[in-house]
Amino acid sequence: MVINQILKNYIWELFIPKGKAICLSNKYFYITMIINDLKGTVQLSNGVSMPCFGLGVFKTQEGSEVENAVKWALEAGYRHIDTAAIYRNERGVGNAVRVSGIPRNELFITTKLWNDNQRNDTVMAGFEESLGLLQTDYIDLYLIHWPVKGKFTATWKVMEDIYRSGRVRAIGVSNFLQHHLEDLFRIADIKPMVNQVECHPYLVQQQLIDFCHAHHMVYEAWSPIMRGKVNDIPLLEELSDKYHKSQVQIVLRWDLQKGIVTIPKSVHQERIRHNADIFDFELSAEDMDLIDKLDKNHHFGAHPDNFTF
């Protein structure tokens, strides 16, 4: 089945051969996201395969809470875990991965450089600390967590050095808007492979999505279920009844069908399983459009131009 869609200034084609493989293409970029199951991946610009669905561990407590969350996710079939230095739970993530028995090369671990390391010019030290806490020889994806004004371009040059060292498989950014990315491109030898941003039905930022895809960057959503507030949206309740899926599942499926990697957070075993039960249905083009139209340009988290931490 071939469905032609016009998104802003780009013409994309959505192919779903025998079910669940989504291919998005325009004259600038071609991206394939396989969404058959939890092991489905999207290919980054350097050829690395990134699982399109993962577990986020923001505000998950170090120790048994994060270790259990990662354990339950891996048991449920997740292969992508997203943490950050500022979450202060990298050691717990590393512990859970180490005892899981799953070969390291079958897992995808993301972590992020915190802002203080940018301000203090200790980017390499921040990376070394995260690598040690995670108890691994390499990190799959290393991100600049926020675009610290006056610092993020210099930080990116160190990120490129880390990438060239072979101790990360991919590098990218988080919370970067188009003007931040344009500033970065002016000095970059290696473009970011991923941009992880707040993304949900009230904050779609389609122009930013299109810009990232046009520049070979995978778009990744944090806070995809709006801190649980997706359960308060009448349209999503209607779609829940229509598809016999929860509002959370509807939104996570919407992410994937838009070609967006998504990393919902939970510390409850049943919810971790429930979040991932989204591979046995497909939202219609009309319903995808209805969800897009919920956009209010509303941030629940900090704005990338006005953060104070």
Domain count, the chain: 1
Give DSSP secondary structure letters for 193-220.
SEEEEE-BTTB--HHHHHHHHHTT-EEE
Domain contains 300 = no
Which burial class, exposed, middle or buried, applies to 73 when counting CB atoms under 10 A from its CB (0-12, 13-18, 19+)? buried
Asked if the structure places residue 112 within a domain, the reply is yes
197-255, pLDDT tens digit by residue? 999 999 999 999 999 999 999 999 999 999 999 999 999 999 999 999 999 999 999 99
Say if 193 falls within a structural domain: yes
Q: In this predicted model, what pLDDT tens digit does every residue of 87-103 receive, in sequence order? A: 999 999 999 999 999 99
| CATH number of the domain to which 191 belongs | 3.20.20.100
CB atoms within 10 A of CB 51: 22
Q: What residues of the chain score a pLDDT lower than 50?
A: 1-19, 25-28
Q: What is the pLDDT of residue 23?
A: 52
User: Residue 309 domain-assigned?
Assistant: no
Structural domain includes residue 282: yes
The question of whether 87 is a catalytic residue gets the answer: yes
- List residues bridging with 144 in a β-sheet: 113, 173
Asked if the structure places residue 13 within a domain, the reply is: yes
Torsion of CA 296, 219, 55, 162, to 10 degrees: -130
Residue 33 confidence (pLDDT): 87
Report the chain's mean pLDDT, rounded to a whole number: 92
Catalytic entry in 10, 30, 87, 219: 87
- Residue 141 included in any domain: yes
**Taking Cα atoms as reference points, which of 64, 111, 51 lies closest to residue 86?**
111
Listing DSSP states for 13-73 in one string gives EEE-TTTTEEEEE-SS-EEEEE-SSTT-EEE-TTS-EEESB-EE-TTPPTTHHHHHHHHHH
Query: Which residue bears the tokens 């988080």?
Result: 174
List the domain range (segments joined by +) for residue 17: 2-292
Confirm if 286 and 263 have CB atoms less than 8 A apart.
no
- Establish if 308 belongs to a structural domain: no
- pLDDT given for residue 29 in this prediction: 53
Contact call for residues 202 and 232 (beta carbons, < 8 A): no
Identity of the amino acid at 151: K
